[in-house]
Amino acid sequence: AQSVSQHNHHVILSEAASLELGCNYSYGGTVNLFWYVQYPGQHLQLLLKYFSGDPLVKGIKGFEAEFIKSKFSFNLRKPSVQWSDTAEYFCAVNIAAGNKLTFGGGTRVLVKP
Amino acid sequence: DADVTQTPRNRITKTGKRIMLECSQTKGHDRMYWYRQDPGLGLRLIYYSFDVKDINKGEISDGYSVSRQAQAKFSLSLESAIPNQTALYFCATSDSGTSGRNKDEQFFGPGTRLTVL
């Protein structure tokens, strides 16, 4: 069974700082990769996803993620965060032939104004 | 996403009580899921259903049951609630019929915060 690890549980940074959240998964076959965001008091929303093709994926709100197959990683980045990026971020993986998402434990990001 | 609704949004109950959480969707999706969210553990899959006649256990199904009353409705029951079932519960949907890039994307409801005393 696949598993997903998010190494940072909490991240605190100031506005305009750069953000990078790590995500590693364990599965040797073809996977689809997702980053979801959960703003305070809200439900999960899709930030971006990778299925195939260009390993650098651009999502909403200036976020991007890079799929590095050799490292089983799908790290999320944003060059300059805003206070409104305060949220919890979840990496998720599913096997290409299946339809069940496996989530990482989440990373809480607090952006100080 | 307003297309996926959950009721109730908040519920406080006592140990031993039977609780039902309901999920409805207007997206026309055939696949529906129930997750629970606990701090530090992310979302874990409880049950999922690929169509009305298909019900499958997820990784943490013990203590829960589900019913797919129609394509648009998927309810989760706690037969006898216990305190460690206190969590945030999410329903999600996906569409098996869309083309490759969107097929595996799941859309989430607003969540139900359940507290078992």
Percent of chain B with pLDDT over 90: 80
For residue A95, name the pLDDT band (cuts at 50, 70, 90).
Answer: confident
How far is Cα B76 from Cα B20, in angstroms, rounded to an integer? 6
**Residues of A with CB below 8 A from B101's CB?**
49, 51
CA angle B105–A54–A90, rounded 5-degree value: 40
The predicted structure's pLDDT at residue A30: 83
Residue of B nearest to A52 (CA): B101
For residue B20, name the pLDDT band (cuts at 50, 70, 90).
Answer: very high
The tens digit of pLDDT for each residue in A6-64 reads 988 899 999 999 999 999 999 878 888 999 999 998 889 999 999 888 999 999 999 99
Q: Which two tokens stand for residue A12?
A: 């605190």
Strands B10-13 and B112-116: parallel
The predicted structure's pLDDT at residue A3: 87
Residue-by-residue DSSP string for B8-74: -SEEEE-TT--EEEEEEE-S--SEEEEEEEETTTEEEEEEEEEETTEEEE-TT-TTEEEEEEETTEE
The predicted structure's pLDDT at residue B63: 95
**Residues of B with CB below 8 A from A47's CB?**
none
Q: Give φ, ψ of A97 to 5 degrees.
A: -90, -5
The predicted structure's pLDDT at residue B100: 54
The predicted structure's pLDDT at residue B76: 98
Q: Which of A9, A99, A105 sits opposite B94 (nearest CB)?
A: A99
Percent of chain B with pLDDT over 70: 92
Mean pLDDT of B23-52: 92
How far is Cα B106 from Cα B82, in angstroms, rounded to an integer? 29
Q: Give the count of Cβ contacts less than 8 A between chain A and B.
A: 53
For residue B2, name the pLDDT band (cuts at 50, 70, 90).
Answer: low
Mutation to test the B interface, candidates A5, A6, A43, most B Cβ within 10 Å: A43
- Which residues sit opposite A45 in a β-bridge? A37
How far is Cα B90 from Cα A14, in angstroms, rounded to an integer? 31
Residue of A nearest to B48 (CA): A100
Q: Which two tokens stand for residue A16?
A: 């305009």
For residue A1, name the pLDDT band (cuts at 50, 70, 90).
Answer: low
**Residues of B with CB below 8 A from A102's CB?**
45
The predicted structure's pLDDT at residue B41: 84
How far is Cα A110 from Cα A55, in angstroms, rounded to an integer? 27
Q: Which of A9, A46, A103 sits opposite B105 (nearest CB)?
A: A46
Compute and round to an integer the Cα radius of gyration of chain B: 14
The predicted structure's pLDDT at residue B13: 96
Q: Which of B31, B42, B105 sits opposite A103 (nearest CB)?
A: B42
Torsional sign, CA B52, B57, B59, B60:
positive
Interchain CB contact of B25 with A (< 8 Å): no
The tens digit of pLDDT for each residue in A56-91 reads 999 999 999 999 999 999 999 999 999 999 999 999
For residue B88, the surrounding DSSP H or E stretch is strand B87-94
The predicted structure's pLDDT at residue A43: 85
Residue B101 has pLDDT above 60, yes or no: no
Residue of A nearest to B43 (CA): A103
Mutation to test the B interface, candidates A51, A101, A103, A107, most B Cβ within 10 Å: A101
How far is Cα B28 from Cα A111, in angstroms, rounded to an integer? 37
Q: For residue B55, with 0-12 CB atoms within 10 Å meaning exposed, 13-18 middle and 19 or more buried, which class applies? A: middle
